[in-house]
């Protein structure tokens, strides 16, 4: 039974602030504990609790109001993989935030009555190691991207799977993606669409200089190690397209499965309908 609801909303979007205000009052009137992220606490008046980066209660629910970018940030914030997350689209594409604002309250009635389904979405952990020291570590829901900054320069990325040499990608970069992220940058670079509940990791080179370097799927048990072989500066790593770190020659990037995100499934549309609607998949 849901007892605690956290609200995370897109910053500096009046529609998200107003929707959060109405939602917080609606939830509170039903006896639920409401917790808000930091920027909402300053703008939504009331006796609310601040969101904690530690853990949500087992009886909790997280509602994300915004676009896919807001949802990706929330996925990194919520570390309890048992807590269901509901994404409400206030942005453009809305592939992860599959619910519209007009569907929010009917869906919440179902959730509070316990009649809802969730889907486990795999997350990855990416660790940067420089001279045997951990430089940075982040969880991601979509992808880890290693790319060049300078124009017209190919970079060399030596890649191993479970310490077995795979290949050295000579390309503009490399995308390591979850199935959830297969419809994001990986797809734009020529990678496959992978059903989101499948347990696999996708490696997609960006503009490979070798015709035989094609995207490859590896099992979710794989630990991927990418060694930066290019000596020149201008290589960058991004986590879900939101957080970044510059890389140097000799740096190691290790990627492996993290925990699962517990996404609430829409009772109104299935994954293939989302593909057709959001990406116009299959149209002629």
Q: In whole angstroms, what is the distance from residue 254 CA to residue 159 CA?
A: 10
Q: Indicate if the alpha-carbon torsion angle 283, 69, 87, 122 is positive or negative.
A: positive
CB neighbours (10 Å) of residue 223?
15
Residue among 26, 33, 65, 63 nearest 48 (CA)? 33
Q: What share of the chain is helix, strand, coil (3-state, %, to 5)?
A: 20, 40, 40
Q: In whole angstroms, what is the distance from residue 105 CA to residue 228 CA?
A: 49
Query: Residue 85: which H helix or E strand, with range?
Result: strand 84-89
Cβ atoms of 210 and 168 within 8 Å: the answer is no
Please name the residues in contact with 257: beta carbons below 8 A apart, sequence gap of 6 or more: 122, 123, 124, 125, 201, 220, 221
DSSP annotation of 193 reads P
Q: Which residues are catalytic?
A: 68
Q: Which long-range contacts (CB under 8 A, 24 or more apart) does 28-31 make?
A: 30/112
């Amino acid at each position: 039974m849901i007892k605690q609801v956290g609200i995370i909303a897109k910053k500096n979007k009046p529609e998200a602030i107003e929707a959060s205000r109405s939602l917080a009052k609606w939830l509170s009137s039903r006896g639920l504990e409401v917790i808000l992220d930091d920027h909402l606490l300053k703008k939504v008046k009331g006796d609310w609790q601040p969101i904690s980066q530690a853990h949500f209660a087992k009886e909790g629910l997280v509602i994300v109001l915004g676009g896919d970018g807001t949802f990706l940030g929330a996925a990194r914030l919520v570390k309890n993989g048992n807590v269901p997350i509901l994404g409400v689209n206030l942005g453009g594409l809305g592939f992860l935030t599959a619910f519209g604002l007009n569907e929010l309250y009917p869906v919440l009635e179902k959730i509070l009555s316990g009649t809802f389904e969730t889907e486990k979405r795999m997350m990855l952990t990416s660790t940067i190691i420089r001279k045997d020291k951990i430089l940075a570590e982040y969880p991601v829901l979509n992808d880890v991207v290693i790319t060049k900054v300078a124009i017209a320069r190919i970079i060399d990325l030596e890649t191993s799977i479970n310490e077995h040499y795979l290949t050295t990608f000579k390309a503009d970069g490399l995308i390591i993606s979850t199935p959830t992220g297969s419809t994001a940058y990986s797809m734009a670079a020529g990678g496959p669409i992978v059903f989101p509940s499948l347990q696999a990791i996708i490696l997609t080179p960006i503009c490979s200089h070798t015709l035989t370097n094609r995207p490859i799927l590896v099992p979710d048990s794989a630990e991927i190690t990418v060694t930066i072989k290019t000596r020149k500066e201008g290589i960058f790593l991004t986590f879900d397209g939101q957080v970044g770190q510059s890389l140097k020659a000799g740096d190691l990037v290790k990627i492996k499965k993290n925990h699962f995100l517990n996404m609430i499934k829409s009772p109104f549309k299935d994954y293939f309908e989302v593909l057709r609607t959001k990406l116009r998949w299959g149209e002629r």
